[in-house]
Amino acid sequence: MAEPAWRRAFNAWEKSTAPALEDLTASTGFRDLLAAGVRWNNAIAEQVERTSRQWLHLWNLPAATDVRRLREQVARLQTEIGELRVATRQTGAPPTLTVIDGGGEGHDHPPAANG
Amino acid sequence: MTTTPTTTQATTPQATNARQAPDLLGELGLGLKRGVNLFRHVLGIDRAEIGVTPKEAVWSRGKSVLYRYRSDRRTVRQPVLLVMSLVSRADIMDLQPGNSFVEHLLDQGLDVFLLDWGAPDELDAGNTLETYVDDHLPDAVAMADGLAGGHGVTVFGYCFGGLLALLYAAGHPDDPIANLVVMATPVDFTEMPPAMSGVGGDGIDPDHLLDETGNVPARTVRAGFSLLTPTADLATYADFWERLDDDRFLESYRAMTAWTRNHVPFPGAAFKQTARMFGEGNGFINDDLVLGGRAVHLRDITVPFLTVLAERDHIVPAEASLPLVDLVGSQDRTEMKLPAGHVGLIVGRGGRTRCMPAMSGWIIDHSDGATAG
């Protein structure tokens, strides 16, 4: 079946534009621009976050950074518990800790786990 | 004398209408089908089911899960362990029935395991390359080897998974590795596209790409891939619009987009390490890699080795993989250059007819034929 006219036009446009766009995104100038954009974006996000945190703390409310810090602490604790569990298994003592899965796409831990 | 007959058949308005009616009906039917397909697509009614070949989890640690595919036709002693990239979903190995690398391997009588790294979150932000190479991979290989009868394992890494497999095999030469296969795996990072290698050094500070979880978010990973072919997304939409009435195409389209638009975050610590060791340091080529406090050399890989390159790979250009075959220490080493793109090696008609048989053929030639348990 013949290609419709709009598709032929699109293909012609893509054929002429794609190489130039690919060269542009592969250029050092584009990379520098992207790096500057990322820095700029982060600086703004940091400023907004600082201001909103100060405002929320003024009302004794937790900010996203507080929740993040708590999540990080929980993550660290979970890692330590995991390491303890492995160490306990290696020394032969019966494991007495139950690990709470960290959310996301949690998986069951079959008995044969960790070989 | 000959006369050329001229068409003088009288066309009555009734006859014209009778001919045009079926065309009109056909057009209307096609238009209706396109409308219905578009409606179903927009509403997400026809979600693609990907990665559906039956399997069971046999081991896990953190987010990493080792799956073993069910099969009653295993005839090859050594199992194949598929090792995925850290930033892509493992479903690409088993896209959809009839278009699945896993299905092909099972059909060849192989015992197939898949190591899925999962989707990292805060808990995994501190995961380094050592976490995967020195901790998860050795135990997953040991588990696969144990379950399959202890005859060694063919470790098969794809893209960044291949890089992990190389580091693992080089750093653990005494592990039960029967063969090592890496597919579309870069070793010379000076040949990688800037969107892949432009992090670290004079480029983007790796820390600037991390989000609040400490990982590189999936949307940033996807943006990195999009930069390689800026018009590819538009071309995909054009294909979709043009073939909206083609049910078979739509099925494949849904499966592929379900995978390509669904990347996973890159664990922050492993990302920074990768940028430093490979993006800035080109560690494989310079042979100065240190992992877990010890030097890792590709020449320490001595098992039968296959590197698969895709001729039209825009993510990992063949030039980035070319030096690999000369860097490993294996006596039995093969470089296979196949006419495909990065994903086309294991997906689509070309993958099914040319690439997959070539790779599985090499694996079977380098394995024992007795039936495993």
Render pLDDT for B279-291 as a digit per residue (tens, 0 to 9): 888 999 999 999 9
CB B62 within 8 A of CB B124: yes
CB A99 within 8 A of CB A111: no
pLDDT of residue A29: 86
pLDDT in tens, B11-34: 566 666 666 666 888 888 888 888
Q: Is B159 a catalytic residue?
A: yes
Cα distances (angstroms) measured from residue B320 to each of B146, B272, B298 = 35, 20, 15
pLDDT of residue A72: 80
Cα distances (angstroms) measured from residue B361 to each of B170, B304, B311, B354 = 24, 14, 19, 11
Reported ipTM: 0.71
Query: What gap in Å lies between CA B99 and CA B51, rounded to an integer?
Result: 10
CB B82 within 8 A of CB B365: no
pLDDT in tens, B237-264: 999 999 988 888 888 888 888 888 888 9
pLDDT in tens, B302-323: 999 999 999 999 899 999 999 9
pLDDT of residue A75: 78
Q: Select from B118, B194, B205 the Cβ nearest to the Cβ of A26.
A: B194
Chain A nearest-CA distance from B269, in A, is 14
* pLDDT tens-digit profile, chain A (115 residues): 678 899 999 999 999 999 999 889 888 888 888 888 888 888 898 899 999 999 999 999 999 889 888 888 887 888 788 778 767 766 765 545 444 444 444 444 443 333 3
pLDDT of residue A64: 87
Residue with tokens 């690990």: A99
Phi, psi dihedral angles at B175 (to 5 degrees)? -70, 160
Among chain B residues, the shortest Cα distance to A109 is held by B60
pLDDT in tens, B159-175: 999 999 999 999 999 99
Q: Compute the average pLDDT of residues B66-71.
A: 96
Indicate the helix (H) or strand (E) that contains B294: strand B294-296
Collect all residues of chain A within an 8 Å Cβ-Cβ radius of residue B142. 115
Interface test with B, best of A10, A15, A74, A101 (most B CBs within 10 A): A10
**More confident site: B133 or B261:** B133
Q: Do the Cβ atoms of B204 and A31 come within 8 Å? A: yes
pLDDT of residue B146: 96
- Coil, helix or strand at residue B79: coil
Query: What gap in Å lies between CA A35 and CA B191, rounded to an integer?
Result: 20
- Pick the most confident of A70-74, A107-111, B136-140, B202-206: B136-140
Query: What gap in Å lies between CA B183 and CA B338, rounded to an integer?
Result: 10
**More confident site: B5 or B348:** B348
**More confident site: B106 or A40:** B106
Q: Which amino acid is at A67?
A: V
**pLDDT tier for residue B353 given thresholds of 50, 70 and 90:** very high
Give pTM, 2 decimals. 0.81
**Strands B177-183 and B153-158, sheet pairing:** parallel
Maximum Cα–Cα distance across chain B: 98
Query: What gap in Å lies between CA B343 and CA B353, rounded to an integer?
Result: 14
Nearest to B128 by CA among B222, B224, B215: B215
B 239-258 residues with CB < 8 A to A: 242
Chain B nearest-CA distance from A26, in A, is 5
CB B342 within 8 A of CB B313: yes
Residue with tokens 């432009």: B198
The rounded percent of chain B whose pLDDT value lies above 70 is: 92
Among chain B residues, the shortest Cα distance to A70 is held by B122
Q: Compute the average pLDDT of residues B324-352.
A: 94
Q: Do the Cβ atoms of A109 and B60 come within 8 Å? A: yes
pLDDT of residue B370: 54
pLDDT of residue B203: 78
Residue B268 in this model has a pLDDT that exceeds 50: yes
pLDDT of residue B20: 66
pLDDT of residue B157: 97
Q: Select from A10, A42, A112 the Cβ nearest to the Cβ of B59.
A: A112
